[in-house]
């Protein structure tokens, strides 16, 4: 039996707006999809979930129309279900493990989770959690998925939690990185943040920990007993090819931050954003897809340049599929070698070479090799580099005794998130390098437990 299709905005329509692509299940469709679930005795799906949500449990409640109960079940393990239902790579996690997927379509767990979370929001459902406050102060650095999760869990345990955020708005990558059409800000992200606030978590914006205040000042001067660092990845990488500093060459981070956080494409907001007529996006990850689809929506003819083939594209299949449907072009097995400009330093074209795939490299992926004499120019007036990030070590550098690895990532215990300093914990991209929302949430959860244990044992 096939899965119940979820309605989407048509590609033609959505390529011109920033409204959400996926419209979500109706109650009827959600129930129908839920009825496909076998409620396995040994639920593999749950093992595939980094935060171990009781998946068969909440799906069984959907079947019965008990959406409030379904929401309670999800909320036991996840603080951000409306986010996860939208941006988790379910195909490699819960849905990837679903027994139904062996001979047909896996249950659409992500879409069902989203349905429950949206239903809860629309019907103002709240999970009443009785919190016994213990008055112990914990600081959380960064309000992205790791920080929000860790703060939420600690608040439920009774801790007095303050989140320090460097930017003027909460959410981290959920706010500045992932575009509106995948993750609506006002309805979804802000609502999840408000829920964390309702648990009693305090937010302080414009605090760049490591600069505005050091970790040790937080501990000594402000009485925080433990710290969780979830400050995210960092500096965007560039290729190091000639012409990368020309006007209208952007990092995907800059382009997306302007549009998502600063709302630059709206006339009402003061921050500007350049948009070309023809835009090249270099890279093949989810961020590259986000940048390309944003550029397309701002009216540019958009081409993704990626050095390997379609099969190796690291982005989620769903995102690649959506991008193709909307009209993003793909120049695969292609690598830029130079960006060219006019006399004023504005981009006019990008010179690329064709690539072919050679032997698998250390990562197991076949490494691309240049095809000699295959250079060609692609006419573009804007280039967006989406090549990942490298760590910023502002916090580590300003925190004596906090150990980092050769990639400048903070070293932590896998189970507890504890760093080389016993009162400091960390998780998410700051420890792993650029990764996913759900893995950051998992790290936030583990660290919340780790912090709780640390506080309890150090009290004795």
Partner 1 sequence: MYKILKKRFLNENTYEMVIDAPRVSKNCMPGQFIILKLDDKGERIPLTIADFDREKGTITIVVQKVGASTTKLSYLNEGDYVEDFAGPIGLASELTNESIEDLKKKKILFVGGGVGIAPIYPQAKWLHENGVDCDVIVGARSKDILIYEDEIRKVCKNLYIATDDGSYGKKGLVTDVIQDLYNEGKKYDVCISIGPLVMMKFVCRLTKTLNLKTIVSMNPIMVDGTGMCGCCRVNVGDEVKFACVDGPEFDGHLIDFDNVIARSKIYQTEEGRAMLKLQEGDTHHGGCGNCGGDK
Candidate residues 238, 400, 403, 405; the one interacting with partner 1 per rule CB under 8 A: 238
| Residue from 17, 39, 206, 458 in contact with partner 1 (CB under 8 A) | 206
Choice between 43 and 285, CB closer to partner 1:
285
Supply the minimum distance, in Å, between the C-beta of residue 272 and partner 1.
4
Binding mask 364-403 for partner 1 (x = CB under 8 A): ----------------------------x-x---------
For the bound state, the minimum distance from the C-beta of residue 54 to partner 1, rounded and expressed in Å, comes to 36
Candidate ranges 161-169, 297-305, 327-335, 415-423; the one touching partner 1 (CB under 8 A): 161-169
Please report how close the Cβ of residue 290 comes to partner 1 at its closest, in angstroms.
Answer: 14
Beta-sheet strand order (sheet of 226-229): 202-204, 160-164, 137-141, 226-229, 424-426
Residue 407 binds to partner 1 (criterion: CB under 8 A): no
For partner 1, which residue of 253, 294, 295, 303 counts as binding (CB under 8 A)?
A: 253
Q: Which of the residues 75 through 114 are near partner 1 (CB under 8 A)?
A: none
For partner 1, the binding residue among 16, 19, 47, 168 (CB under 8 A) is 168
Q: Which is nearer to partner 1, 116 or 233 (CB)?
A: 233
How near is the Cβ of 279 to partner 1 at its closest, in Å?
15
245 vs 363, beta carbon nearer partner 1: 245
Q: How far is the CB of 208 from partner 1 (least distance, A)?
A: 6
Does 184 participate in binding partner 1 (rule CB under 8 A)?
Answer: no
CA 334 to chain centroid: 27
For residues 441 and 451, the answer to whether their CB atoms sit within 8 Å is: no
CA dist 150 and 141 (Å) reads: 10
Our finding on whether 270 is near partner 1 (CB under 8 A) is: yes
Binding status of residue 435 toward partner 1 by CB under 8 A: no
Q: Which of 52, 66, 247, 374 binds partner 1 (CB under 8 A)?
A: 247
Per CB under 8 A, 18 contacts partner 1: no
**How many residues sit in the footprint of partner 1 (CB under 8 A)?**
43
User: Which of 187/398 has CB closer to partner 1?
Assistant: 398
Contact window for partner 1 (CB under 8 A) among 54-62, 154-162, 246-254, 318-326: 246-254
Shortest Å distance, C-beta 214 to partner 1: 7
Q: What angle do CA 266, 269, 272 make, to 5 degrees?
A: 80
Site for partner 1 in 293-352 (CB under 8 A): 344-345
Q: Shortest distance, CB of residue 383 to partner 1, whole angstroms?
A: 13
205 near partner 1, judged by CB under 8 A? yes
272 binds partner 1 (CB under 8 A): yes
The correct pick among 40, 60, 127, 213 for binding partner 1 (CB under 8 A) is 213
**Is position 224 an interface residue for partner 1 (rule: CB under 8 A)?**
no
In this structure, are residues 199 and 131 in contact, taking their beta carbons and an 8 Å threshold?
yes
Instruction: Give yes or no for residue 207 binding partner 1 (CB under 8 A).
Output: yes
Compute the distance between CA of residue 36 and CA of residue 196 in angstroms, rounded to an integer: 33
Alpha helices in 23-108 (DSSP H): 27-34, 44-48, 55-63, 67-77, 81-87, 94-97
Please report, as ranges, the residues that interact with partner 1 according to CB under 8 A. 166-168, 176, 205-208, 211-214, 217, 232, 234-236, 238, 240, 244-248, 250-251, 253-254, 257-258, 261-263, 268-272, 274, 344-345, 392, 394
């Amino acid at each position: 039996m096939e899965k119940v299709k979820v309605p989407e905005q048509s590609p033609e329509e959505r390529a011109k707006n920033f409204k959400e692509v996926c419209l979500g299940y109706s109650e009827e469709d959600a129930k129908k999809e839920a009825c496909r679930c076998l409620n396995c005795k040994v639920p593999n799906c749950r093992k595939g979930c980094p935060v171990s949500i009781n998946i068969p449990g909440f799906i069984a409640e959907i079947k019965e129309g008990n959406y409030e109960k379904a929401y309670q079940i999800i909320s036991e393990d996840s603080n951000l279900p409306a986010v996860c239902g939208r941006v988790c790579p379910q195909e490699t996690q819960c849905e990837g493990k679903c027994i139904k997927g062996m001979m047909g379509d896996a249950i659409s767990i992500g879409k069902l989770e989203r349905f429950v979370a949206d239903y809860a929001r629309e019907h103002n459902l709240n999970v009443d959690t009785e919190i016994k406050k213990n008055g112990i102060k914990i600081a959380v650095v960064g309000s992205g998925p790791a920080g929000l999760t860790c703060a939420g869990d600690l608040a439920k345990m009774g801790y007095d939690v303050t989140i320090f955020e460097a930017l003027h708005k909460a959410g981290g990558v959920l706010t500045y990185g992932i575009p509106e059409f995948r993750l609506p800000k006002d309805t979804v992200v802000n609502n999840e943040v408000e829920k964390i606030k309702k648990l009693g978590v305090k937010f302080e914006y414009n605090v760049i920990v490591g600069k505005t205040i050091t970790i040790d000042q937080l501990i000594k001067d402000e009485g925080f007993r433990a710290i969780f660092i979830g400050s995210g990845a960092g500096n965007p990488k560039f290729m190091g090819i000639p012409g990368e500093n020309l006007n209208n060459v952007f990092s995907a981070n800059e382009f997306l931050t302007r549009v998502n956080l600063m709302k630059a494409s709206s006339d009402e907001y003061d921050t500007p954003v350049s948009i070309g007529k023809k835009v090249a996006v270099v890279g093949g990850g989810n961020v590259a897809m986000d940048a390309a689809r944003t550029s397309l929506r701002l009216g540019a003819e958009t081409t993704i340049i990626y050095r390997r083939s379609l099969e190796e594209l690291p982005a989620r299949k769903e995102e690649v599929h959506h991008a193709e449907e909307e009209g993003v072009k793909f120049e695969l097995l292609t690598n830029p070698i130079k960006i060219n400009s006019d006399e004023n330093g504005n981009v006019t074209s990008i010179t690329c070479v064709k690539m072919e795939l050679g032997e698998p490299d250390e990562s197991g992926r076949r490494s691309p090799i240049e095809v000699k004499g295959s250079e060609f120019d692609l006419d573009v007036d804007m280039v967006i580099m989406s090549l990942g990030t490298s760590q910023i070590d502002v916090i580590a550098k300003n925190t004596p005794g906090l150990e980092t690895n050769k990639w400048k990532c903070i070293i932590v215990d896998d189970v507890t998130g504890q760093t080389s300093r016993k009162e400091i914990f960390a998780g998410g991209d700051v420890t792993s390098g650029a990764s996913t929302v759900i893995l950051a949430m998992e790290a936030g959860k583990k660290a919340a437990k780790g912090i709780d244990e640390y506080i309890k044992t150090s009290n004795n």
